[in-house]
Structure 1
Amino acid sequence: MRAAGSPFQAKSSQEQKEQWIWWQCQRDTVPPEEEAPPVNALPERDAPPMPVPVQPTRHQQYDAIMQRMKVAQGRTGAFTSCGTSTQDSSGK
Protein backbone atom coordinates (compact mmCIF):
# COMPACT_ATOMS: atom_id res chain seq x y z
CA MET A 1 0.00 0.00 0.00
CA ARG A 2 1.10 3.49 -0.70
CA ALA A 3 1.02 6.19 1.97
CA ALA A 4 -1.49 8.96 1.40
CA GLY A 5 0.20 12.09 0.15
CA SER A 6 -0.70 15.74 0.34
CA PRO A 7 -3.72 16.82 -1.72
CA PHE A 8 -1.53 19.63 -3.08
CA GLN A 9 1.24 17.32 -4.25
CA ALA A 10 0.22 16.74 -7.89
CA LYS A 11 -0.95 20.28 -8.65
CA SER A 12 0.80 23.27 -10.14
CA SER A 13 1.70 26.20 -7.92
CA GLN A 14 -1.29 28.23 -9.17
CA GLU A 15 -3.67 25.34 -8.49
CA GLN A 16 -2.10 24.87 -5.07
CA LYS A 17 -2.71 28.54 -4.21
CA GLU A 18 -6.33 28.34 -5.37
CA GLN A 19 -6.88 25.10 -3.44
CA TRP A 20 -5.33 26.64 -0.32
CA ILE A 21 -7.55 29.74 -0.51
CA TRP A 22 -10.62 27.58 -1.08
CA TRP A 23 -9.69 25.39 1.88
CA GLN A 24 -9.18 28.43 4.15
CA CYS A 25 -12.61 29.78 3.18
CA GLN A 26 -14.27 26.40 3.79
CA ARG A 27 -12.58 26.00 7.15
CA ASP A 28 -14.01 29.31 8.38
CA THR A 29 -17.58 28.29 7.46
CA VAL A 30 -17.55 25.01 9.41
CA PRO A 31 -19.74 25.44 12.52
CA PRO A 32 -17.85 24.99 15.79
CA GLU A 33 -18.48 21.83 17.74
CA GLU A 34 -20.45 21.96 20.97
CA GLU A 35 -18.30 23.11 23.83
CA ALA A 36 -17.46 20.39 26.29
CA PRO A 37 -17.20 21.28 29.97
CA PRO A 38 -13.63 21.99 31.05
CA VAL A 39 -11.70 19.00 32.28
CA ASN A 40 -10.51 20.72 35.43
CA ALA A 41 -13.98 21.88 36.51
CA LEU A 42 -14.60 22.10 40.22
CA PRO A 43 -16.55 19.25 41.79
CA GLU A 44 -20.21 19.85 42.51
CA ARG A 45 -19.81 19.28 46.22
CA ASP A 46 -17.05 20.42 48.51
CA ALA A 47 -14.41 17.78 48.98
CA PRO A 48 -11.83 17.95 51.75
CA PRO A 49 -8.50 19.25 50.51
CA MET A 50 -5.86 16.70 49.71
CA PRO A 51 -3.01 16.58 52.23
CA VAL A 52 0.23 18.10 51.03
CA PRO A 53 3.00 15.53 51.07
CA VAL A 54 6.06 16.59 53.04
CA GLN A 55 9.35 15.00 52.21
CA PRO A 56 11.37 14.11 55.32
CA THR A 57 14.60 16.03 55.71
CA ARG A 58 17.96 14.34 55.95
CA HIS A 59 19.62 16.67 58.43
CA GLN A 60 18.89 16.70 62.14
CA GLN A 61 19.33 20.47 62.44
CA TYR A 62 16.60 21.03 59.85
CA ASP A 63 14.35 18.56 61.67
CA ALA A 64 14.83 20.60 64.87
CA ILE A 65 13.99 23.84 63.05
CA MET A 66 10.88 22.31 61.50
CA GLN A 67 9.78 21.07 64.92
CA ARG A 68 10.23 24.58 66.38
CA MET A 69 8.23 26.06 63.51
CA LYS A 70 5.39 23.61 64.11
CA VAL A 71 5.37 24.50 67.82
CA ALA A 72 5.38 28.22 66.98
CA GLN A 73 2.55 27.72 64.50
CA GLY A 74 0.49 26.07 67.24
CA ARG A 75 1.16 29.00 69.58
CA THR A 76 0.08 31.72 67.14
CA GLY A 77 -3.56 31.27 68.14
CA ALA A 78 -2.69 32.29 71.73
CA PHE A 79 -0.74 35.40 70.70
CA THR A 80 -1.34 38.53 72.76
CA SER A 81 0.11 41.96 72.20
CA CYS A 82 2.78 43.28 74.57
CA GLY A 83 0.66 46.33 75.38
CA THR A 84 1.44 48.49 72.38
CA SER A 85 -1.72 50.21 71.31
CA THR A 86 -2.25 50.76 67.61
CA GLN A 87 -5.40 52.81 68.17
CA ASP A 88 -3.72 56.03 69.28
CA SER A 89 -0.07 56.17 68.31
CA SER A 90 0.14 59.98 68.17
CA GLY A 91 1.37 60.19 71.81
CA LYS A 92 -1.56 62.22 73.21
Structure 2
Amino acid sequence: MTIRRTHLLLLLAALAAAGLSACGRRGPLELPPEIQAQGAALKAQQAAALAKNAPKPAPGQAAPESPPPPIPGTIGNRPPEQYPFPLDPLL
Protein backbone atom coordinates (compact mmCIF):
# COMPACT_ATOMS: atom_id res chain seq x y z
CA MET A 1 0.00 0.00 0.00
CA THR A 2 2.84 2.43 0.73
CA ILE A 3 4.41 1.63 -2.66
CA ARG A 4 1.19 2.63 -4.42
CA ARG A 5 0.98 5.81 -2.39
CA THR A 6 4.61 6.65 -3.18
CA HIS A 7 3.99 6.07 -6.89
CA LEU A 8 0.91 8.29 -6.76
CA LEU A 9 2.83 11.07 -5.01
CA LEU A 10 5.68 10.83 -7.53
CA LEU A 11 3.20 10.95 -10.40
CA LEU A 12 1.48 14.01 -8.94
CA ALA A 13 4.84 15.73 -8.37
CA ALA A 14 5.87 14.98 -11.96
CA LEU A 15 2.57 16.34 -13.30
CA ALA A 16 2.93 19.51 -11.22
CA ALA A 17 6.51 19.99 -12.42
CA ALA A 18 5.48 19.47 -16.04
CA GLY A 19 2.61 21.91 -15.66
CA LEU A 20 4.78 24.61 -14.13
CA SER A 21 7.59 24.09 -16.64
CA ALA A 22 5.40 25.49 -19.42
CA CYS A 23 4.62 28.67 -17.48
CA GLY A 24 6.43 31.81 -18.46
CA ARG A 25 6.46 34.75 -20.77
CA ARG A 26 6.52 34.17 -24.47
CA GLY A 27 9.51 35.37 -26.42
CA PRO A 28 13.15 36.01 -25.61
CA LEU A 29 14.37 36.83 -22.13
CA GLU A 30 14.35 40.46 -21.09
CA LEU A 31 17.50 42.39 -20.37
CA PRO A 32 18.13 43.70 -16.84
CA PRO A 33 16.44 47.05 -16.07
CA GLU A 34 19.77 48.91 -16.06
CA ILE A 35 20.56 47.77 -19.60
CA GLN A 36 17.03 48.55 -20.79
CA ALA A 37 17.33 52.09 -19.37
CA GLN A 38 20.65 52.61 -21.15
CA GLY A 39 19.14 51.37 -24.41
CA ALA A 40 16.13 53.67 -24.04
CA ALA A 41 18.40 56.66 -23.38
CA LEU A 42 20.53 55.80 -26.41
CA LYS A 43 17.44 55.49 -28.62
CA ALA A 44 16.19 58.87 -27.39
CA GLN A 45 19.54 60.48 -28.21
CA GLN A 46 19.55 58.93 -31.67
CA ALA A 47 15.98 60.07 -32.32
CA ALA A 48 16.85 63.62 -31.22
CA ALA A 49 19.90 63.64 -33.50
CA LEU A 50 17.84 62.37 -36.45
CA ALA A 51 15.13 64.97 -35.83
CA LYS A 52 17.74 67.72 -35.62
CA ASN A 53 19.45 66.66 -38.87
CA ALA A 54 16.30 65.75 -40.80
CA PRO A 55 15.72 67.85 -43.90
CA LYS A 56 12.63 70.03 -43.81
CA PRO A 57 10.09 69.48 -46.59
CA ALA A 58 9.87 72.08 -49.32
CA PRO A 59 6.89 74.44 -49.20
CA GLY A 60 3.80 72.74 -50.58
CA GLN A 61 5.05 69.20 -49.93
CA ALA A 62 3.67 66.90 -47.28
CA ALA A 63 5.75 66.23 -44.19
CA PRO A 64 7.15 62.68 -43.90
CA GLU A 65 5.10 60.32 -41.79
CA SER A 66 6.35 59.34 -38.37
CA PRO A 67 6.91 55.63 -37.66
CA PRO A 68 4.01 53.77 -36.06
CA PRO A 69 4.03 53.57 -32.26
CA PRO A 70 5.37 50.34 -30.72
CA ILE A 71 2.90 47.59 -29.92
CA PRO A 72 1.99 47.55 -26.20
CA GLY A 73 3.29 44.51 -24.40
CA THR A 74 6.29 43.92 -26.64
CA ILE A 75 9.86 43.85 -25.33
CA GLY A 76 10.94 47.34 -24.35
CA ASN A 77 7.32 48.53 -24.23
CA ARG A 78 6.05 46.50 -21.29
CA PRO A 79 5.54 48.47 -18.09
CA PRO A 80 5.66 45.95 -15.23
CA GLU A 81 2.75 47.54 -13.39
CA GLN A 82 0.49 47.09 -16.43
CA TYR A 83 1.63 43.57 -17.35
CA PRO A 84 2.29 41.72 -14.10
CA PHE A 85 3.33 38.11 -14.23
CA PRO A 86 1.88 36.11 -11.30
CA LEU A 87 4.81 33.69 -11.00
CA ASP A 88 7.54 36.38 -10.81
CA PRO A 89 7.82 36.01 -6.99
CA LEU A 90 8.82 32.36 -7.52
CA LEU A 91 11.79 33.39 -9.65
TM-score, normalising length: structure 2: 0.26
- Structure number with bigger Rg: 1
> Comparing both structures, which one devotes a greater share of its residues to helix?
2
Question: How does the TM-score come out when normalised to structure 1?
Answer: 0.26
